[in-house]
Chain A
């Protein structure tokens, strides 16, 4: 399959882009020339965790600060290689916080 000319690519983002370009969204030129005008905006109100390398070659739980996108390192099912993925989730609220108490009391 032909990929077509580069100019046909309007937008690219995610783990593959991070591994290739060094940023979560495709960049076209150096920052001082406006090449990162397609910078992602991301919001999350709480701290979180993701799966990353805790030591060289060892995957584990990595803390992520408020408002920082989560990058999950996981095995690509096709290639079998570990690669980064942008972990995106919609806003959600836990309706039942405890299985022992469905009144959801704190």
Chain B
């Protein structure tokens, strides 16, 4: 079993990083580039260009040199089988390629460090790579063919937090809650509308060192907890196809604290899947 992973950081978010500047090669009216980092997962909320069959790029200029080691595309992108690239630059002119994965077209139990990344069960895609740094970060999508514009619903590029203790038991990445409107007839027959089945649960972690709290405080307490930003939660990097996007549930308590029997800190982090896909049948 591999280590877990937690990604909430996103250099492309000008909400998380107000001093960052996001630009793009093209953006269609109503489908501007900021849609890639607004946390919305609707199939109608995405960034696209204007001219088909050309390279399209989204570039963020950071306020300082920043590093990242993880990239995720939300479900709904239309370029599996193609090879986009994540690039960095220290001057905004010359870009170096960090990764050029050929996005997989099939779901499979794959390690998150696979050179082509992992397609998750719901159609998102992610890749954990060797840390790289840059003042500029760019997502570059190759030409997709005549009459085809690239669709990017969500893009996360940032530093992932890997809890060194792993997620402690009880442990289930498949725990769900059924939400549905239902009418029960006098005979007990049930009529139901569309079903939402978000993954719902809690992860338990214990920090191995006091120093690790710096990372936990930024990623889990700050971004996920205090700002309630979505986070990609991967229970096991060797089964990364089960990764999902979650947010902090309403009314939930959270915070790494000192408790008996362990030093330095530990936390139980409740989550609920963010805007899960809906089952119509």
Nearest neighbor of A3 in chain B, beta-carbon distance: B211
**Chain B 126-167 near chain A by CB (<8 Å), digits 1 or 0:** 000001110100000000000000000000001100000000
Interface residues of B in 1-24 (CB under 8 A from A): 9, 16-19
Q: Any chain B CB within 8 A of the CB of A21?
A: yes
Q: Any chain B CB within 8 A of the CB of A6?
A: yes
By a CB distance below 8 angstroms, the chain B residues around A21 are 159, 214-215, 218
Contact B91 A32 (CB under 8 A): no
CB distance from A47 to the nearest CB of B (A): 7
Contact B64 A24 (CB under 8 A): yes
Given A27-B218, A63-B91, A65-B90, A22 and B67 contact (CB-CB distance below 8 Å)? yes
CB distance from B230 to the nearest CB of A (A): 14
Contact A64 B226 (CB under 8 A): no
Query: In the bound complex, how far is the Cα of B98 from the Cα of A90, in angstroms?
Result: 30
Interface residues of B in 24-38 (CB under 8 A from A): none
CB distance from A49 to the nearest CB of B (A): 9
Q: Any chain B CB within 8 A of the CB of A77?
A: no
Nearest neighbor of A31 in chain B, beta-carbon distance: B17
Query: In the bound complex, how far is the Cα of B66 from the Cα of A40, in angstroms?
Result: 12
Contact B131 A62 (CB under 8 A): no
By a CB distance below 8 angstroms, the chain A residues around B135 are 65, 68
Q: Any chain A CB within 8 A of the CB of B114?
A: no
Nearest neighbor of B136 in chain A, beta-carbon distance: A65
**Chain A 20-51 near chain B by CB (<8 Å), digits 1 or 0:** 11111011111111010001100000010010
Contact A39 B93 (CB under 8 A): no
Contact A5 B218 (CB under 8 A): no
Determine which of A20, A32, A39, A63 lies in contact with B94 in the assembled complex, contact meaning CB atoms within 8 Å: A63
**Chain A 55-68 near chain B by CB (<8 Å), digits 1 or 0:** 11000001111001
Contact B215 A31 (CB under 8 A): no
By a CB distance below 8 angstroms, the chain A residues around B96 are 52-55, 62
Given A27-B218, A33-B226, A62-B90, A84 and B133 contact (CB-CB distance below 8 Å)? yes
By a CB distance below 8 angstroms, the chain A residues around B210 are 3, 5-6
Number of A-B contacts (CB under 8 A): 102
Determine which of A29, A50, A69 lies in contact with B222 in the assembled complex, contact meaning CB atoms within 8 Å: A29
Contact A26 B91 (CB under 8 A): no
Query: In the bound complex, how far is the Cα of B92 from the Cα of A63, in angstroms?
Result: 10
Interface residues of B in 217-248 (CB under 8 A from A): 217-218, 222-223, 226-227
Query: In the bound complex, how far is the Cα of B136 from the Cα of A65, in angstroms?
Result: 11
Q: Any chain A CB within 8 A of the CB of B97?
A: yes
Contact B66 A23 (CB under 8 A): yes
By a CB distance below 8 angstroms, the chain B residues around A88 are none
By a CB distance below 8 angstroms, the chain B residues around A26 are 214
By a CB distance below 8 angstroms, the chain B residues around A27 are 214, 218
Query: Which residues on A are within 8 Å of B, measured CB to CB?
Result: 3, 5-6, 9, 18-24, 26-33, 35, 39-40, 47, 50, 52-56, 62-65, 68-71, 84
Query: Which residues on B are within 8 Å of A, measured CB to CB?
Result: 9, 16-19, 64-68, 90-94, 96-100, 131-133, 135, 158-159, 209-211, 213-215, 217-218, 222-223, 226-227, 264
Can you list 21 A-B contacts with CB-CB less than 8 angstroms, sorted by A residue number? A6-B210, A18-B67, A19-B67, A22-B9, A22-B67, A29-B222, A30-B218, A33-B226, A40-B64, A53-B96, A53-B98, A53-B132, A55-B97, A56-B100, A62-B90, A62-B96, A68-B90, A69-B65, A71-B65, A84-B67, A84-B133
Closest 5 pairs between A and B when the two form their complex, measured CB to CB: A65-B91, A22-B159, A30-B222, A64-B90, A6-B210
